[in-house]
Amino acid sequence: MKIVHSVELHLPEGKLPGFYAQIVKGIANIVTLLDRDKTVLFVSSEAEAEAIEAFVRHYRVETDRGLWAGLDQQWLLDERKFGDYGIQSRSGSRYLDLGLSAIMEIAAAGESSELGQALEQCEEHSVARQNKDGRQLLAVDREQTELIAGIARAYRCQAELLL
């Protein structure tokens, strides 16, 4: 899971079609874009996001910044929910908005833990999930982290907030 930064461009109304292309070309000359989806540009560092903002200020383009987790193909998405919490770019990469969501790990806390049942109930609330190296990772709504922790405790499991 890679953490990436985004800059969303809010383009002014009534500009010629080449306006956006000119801006993106200029941005590509100053930073390395990891990916993009419509007007959301993904970069690897905060410094690159700041450079984009400084560059587009000259064009009077408003921006919003974000922090995202890049989800590899091992993550199973709940297609009904994912669009509310993430983006799948034109290149097929998947990004989870960390302003709206959190990544948690659920694990057995001992021999009496009922991990399977805890995961079954937690998955009802998840946006995406992954079993990585025996670790059960869940992407959930940031407002539901306490709920997930409570479910884990009820089944004698541990829940840890990772991101």
Q: Which of 10, 45, 70 finishes a domain?
A: 70
Residues 84 and 156 reside in one and the same domain = yes
Task: Work out the mean pLDDT of the chain and round it to a whole number.
Answer: 94
Domain coverage including residue 97: 72-163
The 10 Å CB-count burial string (b at 16+, else e) for 107-123 is ebbeeebebeebbebbb
Q: Which residue in 119, 153, 112 sits closest to 135, CA to CA?
A: 119
Count of domains for the chain: 2
Residues 92 and 49 reside in one and the same domain = no
Query: Global pTM?
Result: 0.89
Residues 163 and 85 reside in one and the same domain = yes
Residues 65 and 95 reside in one and the same domain = no
Residues 127 and 149 reside in one and the same domain = yes
Please write the tens of the pLDDT for every residue from 82-104. 999 999 998 999 999 999 999 99
Residues 89 and 121 reside in one and the same domain = yes
- φ, ψ (nearest 5 deg) of residue 60: 60, 45
